[in-house]
Amino acid sequence: AAAGLSYVGGYVINTYKSYDNFLQDKYALLPAVIIICVAVVMFIIGLIGCCATFRESRVGLGLFLAIILVIFIAEVSAFVLGFVYREKVKTDVQGTMRSVFEKYDGKNPESTVVDYLQEQLHCCGVKNYSDWTTTQWFNSTGNNSVPRSCCRQDVKNCTGRLDQPQEL
């Protein structure tokens, strides 16, 4: 389990590099760091449990049980807090994404991240393609279209025009 958690934490940290412009809050990596720390603690606790079982130590097994109960309580607390604050996180991420979309010009690093995100997640805009109609890029181009990264990958000659929403 500790190895699995270490992998997940490392994967999140590695993936963060692709989306760091959307998650401007540097504390976004905190869950991944916590996951890695929990993995290290789980490894140590596993060793304590194995040693206590091997030696048939009542004190060691009691300590192991107490630690497992504390971890269980912490997991339940984390689940409840995640459930309670899910709307706040959603609102914060959408606000940050809207600000990044506002800076889109097709050339700057934020634009590259927006294009990458839309291509990887097969999406267009924060909620849908109509989000682009309020951006400076949409108004400055004047061609009534969204970036080509909004196009479906199975469509060959997509121009991103809003009069052909089936291609987006």
Check which CATH number belongs to the domain holding 152 and give it. Answer: 1.10.1450
Q: How many domains does the chain have?
A: 1
Domain contains 44: no
Domain contains 25: no
pLDDT of residue 23: 56
CB within 8 Å of 72: residues ≥ 6 apart:
none
Domain contains 113: yes
Tokens for 121, please give them: 């997640």
pLDDT in tens, the chain (168 residues): 888 888 888 887 777 766 665 555 566 677 778 888 888 888 888 888 888 888 888 888 888 889 889 888 988 898 888 888 888 878 887 787 788 778 787 777 778 878 888 888 888 888 888 888 888 877 777 777 788 888 888 888 887 777 777 888
140 backbone dihedrals φ, ψ, rounded to 5°: -75, -30
pTM over 0.85: no
Domain contains 61: no
Domain contains 50: no
Domain contains 146: yes
Domain contains 59: no
Domain contains 69: no
pLDDT of residue 24: 56
Q: Is there a contact between 152 and 168 (Cβ–Cβ < 8 Å)?
A: yes
Residue 148's domain comprises 87-167
